[in-house]
Amino acid sequence: MNSLQQFRLLIEEELQKINYPTTPEKLYHPIEYVLSLGGKRMRPILLLMAHQLYSKDVSKAISPAIAVEVFHNFTLLHDDIMDNAPLRRGRKTVHEKWDNNVAVLSGDTMMIQAYQLVSTVDSDILKEVLEVFSKAATEVCEGQQWDMDFENQLDVSISEYLKMIEYKTSVLLAASLKMGAVIGRSSSEDADNLYEFGRNLGIAFQLQDDFLDAFGNPETFGKKVGGDILANKKTYLYLKAMEMSDIAQKEKLEDYFSDKYFNENEKVKSVKEIFSELNIPTLTKQLMMEYHEKAISHLDMVTSEKKEPLYAFLKLLFDREN
Amino acid sequence: MNSLQQFRLLIEEELQKINYPTTPEKLYHPIEYVLSLGGKRMRPILLLMAHQLYSKDVSKAISPAIAVEVFHNFTLLHDDIMDNAPLRRGRKTVHEKWDNNVAVLSGDTMMIQAYQLVSTVDSDILKEVLEVFSKAATEVCEGQQWDMDFENQLDVSISEYLKMIEYKTSVLLAASLKMGAVIGRSSSEDADNLYEFGRNLGIAFQLQDDFLDAFGNPETFGKKVGGDILANKKTYLYLKAMEMSDIAQKEKLEDYFSDKYFNENEKVKSVKEIFSELNIPTLTKQLMMEYHEKAISHLDMVTSEKKEPLYAFLKLLFDREN
């Protein structure tokens, strides 16, 4: 049984092994750049972990694992264009380092490459693996569109928000696990339970992201605490607070989450105070734990004896402080 | 045997049958819009024509035919962002009608949909069909990158230009034909000859495009004659003229193809005069005919008895005036 660290190392090695054509340079250099920026590599690791539940031969899972990582990085690349983001993992985004056209086209090429890597699986399971992958890929795009729509939408319900983060974040984690299972020739029940494990884990993970962004420890968080508040992002914390607040609190929140100018520290402090008055940190953690427990219940149902790395991964994920 | 018109009708019907989700509206409405703008539908028609050489059951070829059309329209959508084009087929481009973000993301979704449609072919040939499709898809991106690179590249050789148009235009025509053949269970020799037929046909077609843009009949061309000259595009005509010209002509051409201001009609007239002095129209037509003949020679080698629609299609294509 492989440890998390071994899986991560394997992914990094395989990513470095990819030989991109040298020309057109503006097409392939950005792909190498974006894949070299690092990241948690959660999706390929989950795919490999699901695969090893059923098979000792990791070789069949490597290309599809790289595929989900390449696809994920393609979505980051195009999301960064859409969000006009200057930085990704502390480095210049592709559209900043090159330009928008380069970012659009190298992203497109990455998506094709992801499909090429998925297509290396055995012929008899290729159709099923592609179905899982394409469904998730479509949902990721839908999630991104909803996320952009919500910026200009006055009323976003909590169920709409949860659906959005499920599509934007969870389904690719879920699909990675299911693909690993299918490639490892699991039963379809196990594959579906692993999908549900990933889907719930992903939602819990995103809720934790929302929580840490406002209430993380500034010493260990890595980013500026309060970034979502400063960006007027309609996170779960904000939406739940709007639901729970009285008229005065609601007015205050709406005021802070408008485009008016406030002193940054003052704004973060005041919004967090309202969140705390309304018990939002606890409510967020409770909802996160609900999804976390649902995730575990699905993993419990998986019939393999080699689930330890997945439990360990889940534990590590929710012990994180950034 | 189906006629061109019947194939075209079938494609239009099938495109209209696609049921897109109603939400997120900004993701799916642009896709419906772009597919409703029409076009020659060359790629899906060629796929169906290649398929009917070997099979009477058109049903197996329909989804892949729609796939290549969806993919082609995805490339147009993203190309229009990159070229900052206001119009496509006389209507507003997606990034003009909505915005850049919508165009990026609905394009991405179209590419995924194209893969989903390709993935409907029988399992035993899926891997082969995907390989043909993904290779062409990658080359289309490479071709687009070269096309953009050439805008700022002082010296573009004719062989570089021919490679660019092969990748940007021909390979998807070629792949469509090959996919149709493989789905119809042709021999691999036939599939390869159909690929080469399409590859040469596509290059000839693009050379004809270059020719018509400068020397087409203004009454029947449909667009403004001289558009490429006004846009300082390095077409085959320009590159061949630069190769053939003496110092004085070269200086004149470089002057006209710079960003300096010239009276539009005057510029088109003068450049065309230089082209004519250098015998460029004839040289372009000769090269076009070379590729045209290569295309025919590959079609001649295809063993099926039902090639009439493909010969007819080729004839129609090169009798066109727009």
Whether A116 and chain B come into contact, CB under 8 Å, resolves to: yes
Q: What is the mean pLDDT of residues B3-12?
A: 93
On the question of pLDDT at B1 being above 50, the answer is: no
Q: What is the mean pLDDT of residues A81-100?
A: 95
Structure tokens at A277: 């008055």
A60 lies in a domain? yes
Please choose, from the candidates B231, B243, B232, the residue with its C-alpha nearest in 3D space to the C-alpha of residue B278.
Answer: B243
User: How many residues can be counted in chain A?
Assistant: 322
On the question of pLDDT at A243 being above 60, the answer is: yes
CB contact under 8 A, B123 and A119: no
**Which chain A residues are within 8 Å of B114, Cβ to Cβ?**
none
- Per the listing, tokens 């909505």 go with B98
Q: What is the mean pLDDT of residues B83-93?
A: 94
- Do A117 and A193 lie in one domain? The reply is no
Quick one: pLDDT band at residue B300, thresholds 50, 70, 90?
Answer: very high
- Per the listing, tokens 């054509």 go with A21
Angle separating helix axes A42-52 and A308-319, nearest 10 degrees: 160
Q: What is the pLDDT of residues A9-62, one digit of tens each?
A: 999 999 999 999 999 999 999 999 999 999 999 999 999 999 999 999 999 999
- Do A287 and A227 lie in one domain? The reply is yes
Element (H, E) at B55: none
Q: What is the mean pLDDT of residues A170-187?
A: 98
Please choose, from the candidates A169, A167, A159, the residue with its C-alpha nearest in 3D space to the C-alpha of residue A287.
Answer: A159
How many C-beta neighbours within 10 Å does residue B103 have?
22
Angle separating helix axes B280-301 and B308-319, nearest 10 degrees: 170
Q: What is the mean pLDDT of residues A293-320?
A: 94
pLDDT at A221: 77
pLDDT at B260: 83
Give the chain B residue nearest A28 (alpha carbons): B142
A159 lies in a domain? no
Whether B148 and chain A come into contact, CB under 8 Å, resolves to: yes
CA B85/CA B221 separation, integer angstroms: 20
- Do A124 and A35 lie in one domain? The reply is yes
On the question of pLDDT at A321 being above 90, the answer is: no
Q: Enumerate helices (H) and strands (E) in chain A, giving the number of each.
A: 16, 2
**Which chain B residues are within 8 Å of A21, Cβ to Cβ?**
142
Buried b (16+ CB within 10 A) or exposed e, A160-174: ebbbbbbbbbbbbbb
- Do A22 and A145 lie in one domain? The reply is yes
Q: What is the mean pLDDT of residues A180-192?
A: 98
CB contact under 8 A, B134 and A112: yes
- Do A104 and A238 lie in one domain? The reply is no
In the 8-state DSSP scheme, what is residue B223?
S
CB contact under 8 A, A100 and B100: yes
A158 lies in a domain? no
User: What is the DSSP track for A256-301?
Assistant: HTSS----HHHHHHHHHHHHHHTTHHHHHHHHHHHHHHHHHHHHHH
On the question of pLDDT at A78 being above 90, the answer is: yes
CA B13/CA B282 separation, integer angstroms: 41
More confident residue, A48 or A4: A48
Tell me the Cα Rg of chain B: 20
- Residue B218: cis peptide before it, omega within 30 degrees of 0: no
The alpha carbon of residue B230 is apart from the nearest alpha carbon of chain A, in Å, by: 23
Please enumerate in sequence order all residues whose Cβ is within 8 A of that of B293, keeping only pairs 6 or more positions apart, or say none: none
pLDDT at B2: 64
Structure tokens at A97: 């380092």
Quick one: pLDDT band at residue A322, thresholds 50, 70, 90?
Answer: low
Domain coverage including residue A259 = 187-322
Q: What sign has the CA pseudo-torsion B154, B159, B162, B163?
A: negative
Note the helical H segments in A119-263.
123-151, 158-165, 171-183, 188-215, 227-230, 236-244, 247-256
The alpha carbon of residue B94 is apart from the nearest alpha carbon of chain A, in Å, by: 15
Number of domains in chain A: 2
Whether A108 and chain B come into contact, CB under 8 Å, resolves to: yes
Whether B130 and chain A come into contact, CB under 8 Å, resolves to: yes
How many C-beta neighbours within 10 Å does residue A58 have?
16
- Do A193 and A141 lie in one domain? The reply is no
Structure tokens at A142: 């839908």
- Do A110 and A195 lie in one domain? The reply is no
List, in sequence order, every residue forming a beta bridge with A88; answer none if it has no partner: A91
- Do A203 and A303 lie in one domain? The reply is yes
Which residue, of A151, A179, A197, is where some domain finishes?
Answer: A151
Give the chain A residue nearest B80 (alpha carbons): A101
Burial-class residue B145 by CB neighbours within 10 Å (0-12, 13-18, 19+).
buried
Whether A146 and chain B come into contact, CB under 8 Å, resolves to: yes
Phi, psi of A234 (to 5 degrees): -80, 75
Q: What is the pLDDT of residues A249-283, one digit of tens each?
A: 999 999 999 878 889 999 999 999 999 999 999 99
Please enumerate in sequence order all residues whose Cβ is within 8 A of that of A260, keeping only pairs 6 or more positions apart, or say none: none
Q: What is the pLDDT of residues B11-29, one digit of tens each?
A: 999 999 999 999 999 999 9
**Which chain B residues are within 8 Å of A93, Cβ to Cβ?**
none
- Do A147 and A5 lie in one domain? The reply is yes
pLDDT at B3: 83
CATH number, position A128: 1.10.600.10
The answer to which of A2-16, A61-75, A284-298 has the lowest mean pLDDT is: A2-16
Q: What is the pLDDT of residues B36-76, one digit of tens each?
A: 999 999 999 999 999 999 999 999 999 999 999 999 999 99
Quick one: pLDDT band at residue A2, thresholds 50, 70, 90?
Answer: low
Whether B100 and chain A come into contact, CB under 8 Å, resolves to: yes
Buried b (16+ CB within 10 A) or exposed e, A31-44: bebbbeeeeebbbb
- Do A125 and A238 lie in one domain? The reply is no
Whether B84 and chain A come into contact, CB under 8 Å, resolves to: no
Cα–Cα separations (whole angstroms), residue A67 to A11, A73, A134: 11, 10, 12
Q: What angle do CA A111, A114, B134 make, to 5 degrees?
A: 75
Quick one: pLDDT band at residue B317, thresholds 50, 70, 90?
Answer: confident
Whether B168 and chain A come into contact, CB under 8 Å, resolves to: no
Question: C-alpha A2: how far from its chain's center?
Answer: 23
- Do A230 and A106 lie in one domain? The reply is no
A266 lies in a domain? yes
Q: What is the mean pLDDT of residues B129-135?
A: 98
CB contact under 8 A, B134 and A141: no
- Per the listing, tokens 């559209």 go with A95
A226 lies in a domain? yes
- Do A231 and A276 lie in one domain? The reply is yes
Tell me the Cα Rg of chain A: 20
CB contact under 8 A, A127 and B126: yes
A100 lies in a domain? yes
CB contact under 8 A, B130 and A119: yes
Give the chain B residue nearest A116 (alpha carbons): B134
Mutate to test the interface with A, among B78, B101, B128 (most CBs of A within 10 A): B101
Please enumerate in sequence order all residues whose Cβ is within 8 A of that of B159, keeping only pairs 6 or more positions apart, or say none: none
A172 lies in a domain? no
User: What is the DSSP track for B78-95?
Assistant: HHHHHHT-SEETTEE-HH
Element (H, E) at A91: strand A91-92
**Which chain B residues are within 8 Å of A109, Cβ to Cβ?**
138, 141-142
> Are the beta carbons of A73 and A110 closer than 8 angstroms?
yes
Q: What is the pLDDT of residues A211-239, one digit of tens each?
A: 999 999 888 877 788 999 999 999 999 99
User: What is the DSSP track for B19-36?
Assistant: ---SSSHHHHHHHHHHHT
Of all residues in chain A, what percent carry a pLDDT higher than 90?
91
Q: Which of B24, B78, B112 is the closest to A104 by Cβ?
A: B78
Q: What angle do CA B29, B31, B37 make, to 5 degrees?
A: 105
Q: What is the pLDDT of residues A142-152, one digit of tens each?
A: 999 999 999 98
- Return the half-sphere exposure (C-beta side, CA atoms, 13 A cut-off) of residue B239: 20
CB contact under 8 A, A112 and B119: no
CA A161/CA B96 separation, integer angstroms: 29
Of all residues in chain B, what percent carry a pLDDT higher than 90?
91
Structure tokens at B136: 């062409």
Q: What is the pLDDT of residues B137-174, one digit of tens each?
A: 999 999 999 999 999 898 999 999 999 999 999 999 99
What is the amino acid identity at position A89?
A: R
> Are the beta carbons of B264 and B270 closer than 8 angstroms?
no
In the 8-state DSSP scheme, what is residue A167?
I
A297 lies in a domain? yes
The alpha carbon of residue B172 is apart from the nearest alpha carbon of chain A, in Å, by: 14
